[in-house]
């Protein structure tokens, strides 16, 4: 049984960059899949902890984060994930936290979900934005050379090179626009039967999804796509909720 406690502390600098340095203080912030709240470590006094909510499927991470940041709000989202929460509830909706958010962010969350699940959750999250809110989430583009933002990696390192894949897999993924990998096996035709919420995966299995930038744009035509921010290797999809003029 894996207990996932993240050591990542670069989330604030990443989102601050891709969102063009928004006014964080005074905004209600939802860190969807924020684990122990590592975002707050690097945010320092740019974020008021009273305005920060963290929602995550890993109960141990939520408990740890609440102890570290007692003024912030940590909520366990008991949704099923074969790796992060194998005893969770399939199709559990995103809970109503009683407010709308100015900024919702999700770092490396939809890198572990099927396309259909991502679309479902994005729809739910957008409904929780305030009138001028922003939703930003990361994704792996299989065509991206990760050594460009992480020099520790060998040149021409793509996300699929981490798995048991071939150049044919990469070409097919680029043509289709997306794929899923489960325990290193690249699944190119990832139909509904490969949705995490439809299948009971092996606890602790590695489930990763990849989306080309062009395919992500086809899913969200109104989105802004930003390139990875060093040292991270994930792109960012940004969706804005613009208040319609009143008549």
Give the H/E segment covering residue 211: strand 207-211
Whether 30 and 103 have beta carbons less than 8 Å apart is answered as yes
Whether 171 and 178 have beta carbons less than 8 Å apart is answered as no
Q: Give residue 211's pLDDT.
A: 97
Q: Give residue 166's pLDDT.
A: 76
Counting Cα atoms < 13 Å in the Cβ hemisphere of 157 gives 14
Q: Give residue 8's pLDDT.
A: 87
Residues of the chain with pLDDT under 70: 1-3, 164, 242-247
- Domains in the chain (CATH in brackets) are 13-247 (3.40.50.150)
Rounded Cα gap, residues 66 and 56, in angstroms? 12
Rounded Cα gap, residues 50 and 188, in angstroms? 43
Q: Give residue 36's pLDDT.
A: 96
| Per-residue DSSP letter, 99 | S
Q: Give residue 246's pLDDT.
A: 39
Whether 178 and 213 have beta carbons less than 8 Å apart is answered as no
Q: Give residue 168's pLDDT.
A: 87
Q: Cβ atoms within 10 A of the Cβ of 98, count?
A: 6
Which pLDDT tens digit goes with each residue over 150-184?
A: 998 999 899 988 776 778 888 999 999 999 999 98
| Per-residue DSSP letter, 85 | B
């Amino acid at each position: 049984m894996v207990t996932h406690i993240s050591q990542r502390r670069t989330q604030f600098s990443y989102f601050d960059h891709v969102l063009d340095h928004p006014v964080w203080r005074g905004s209600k912030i939802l860190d969807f899949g924020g684990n122990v709240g590592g975002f707050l470590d690097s945010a320092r006094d740019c974020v008021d902890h009273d305005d920060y909510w963290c929602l995550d499927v890993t109960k141990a991470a939520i408990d740890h984060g609440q102890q570290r940041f007692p003024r912030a709000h940590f909520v366990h989202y008991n949704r099923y994930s074969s790796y992060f929460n194998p005893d969770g509830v399939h199709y559990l909706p995103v809970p109503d936290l009683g407010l709308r958010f100015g900024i919702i962010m999700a770092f490396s969350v939809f890198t572990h979900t099927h396309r259909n699940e991502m679309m479902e959750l994005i729809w739910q999250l957008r409904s929780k934005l305030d009138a001028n809110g922003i939703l930003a989430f990361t994704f792996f583009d299989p065509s991206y050379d990760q050594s460009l933002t992480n020099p520790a990696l060998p040149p021409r390192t793509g996300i699929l090179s981490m798995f048991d894949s071939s150049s044919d897999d990469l070409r097919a993924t680029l043509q289709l626009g997306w794929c899923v990998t489960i325990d290193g096996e690249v699944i190119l035709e990832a139909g509904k039967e490969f949705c995490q919420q439809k299948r009971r995966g092996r606890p602790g299995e590695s489930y990763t999804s990849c989306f080309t930038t062009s395919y992500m744009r086809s899913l969200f035509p109104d989105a802004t796509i930003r390139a990875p921010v060093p040292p991270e290797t994930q792109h960012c999809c940004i969706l804005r909720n613009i208040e319609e003029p009143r008549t």
